[in-house]
Amino acid sequence: MKESPAKRKFLSKGGTVLANLLLGTKLQDMTSGYQGFHRDIVRLFMDYPLKATAHFYQTELRYLLRKYPSVEIPIHYLAPSPRVSEKSVLNSLQALLYYTWKRLTLRPVSL
């Protein structure tokens, strides 16, 4: 299997480090992995207005669900595209800064 491009790996690892630092989380991978949710948890976020419109939604959900028990199941996959759009990166940063601001002003958001 061919490896994902270095840029994708950097964004994934760097995104996890940055998200953990700014959001106060301690996950190994905030950007990918298998996610399974109990139906009661799914009901919590089905109608929630996520800030992310692209890849960051996984990190956003992990942050919003941080108070609920979870298990990380790492996966290894080939990124579908070596390209990561600038718009996607900017949206991710906007969402990250929103939740960081909420956290720092003692108004953390949860589901």
Structural domain including 68 reads 6-104
Q: How confident is the model at residue 34 (pLDDT cuts 50, 70, 90)?
A: confident
User: Has residue 74 got a pLDDT over 60?
Assistant: yes
Specify if 99 maps to a domain: yes
- Going by C-alpha positions, the residue among 24, 12, 34, 32 that lies closest to residue 63 is 24
Specify if 60 maps to a domain: yes
Specify if 111 maps to a domain: no
Specify if 33 maps to a domain: yes
Specify if 109 maps to a domain: no
User: Has residue 8 got a pLDDT over 80?
Assistant: no
Domains in the chain: how many in total?
1
Specify if 27 maps to a domain: yes
Specify if 1 maps to a domain: no
Alpha helices for the chain (secondary structure H):
6-23, 39-46, 57-64, 86-104
Distances in whole angstroms, Cα of residue 84 to Cα of each of 15, 46, 97, 99, 110: 13, 26, 19, 22, 28
User: Has residue 53 got a pLDDT over 60?
Assistant: yes
Question: What tokens appear for 70 in the block?
Answer: 């979870």
Cα 33 to chain centroid distance, Å, stands at 10
Specify if 38 maps to a domain: yes
First to last CA, the chain: 38
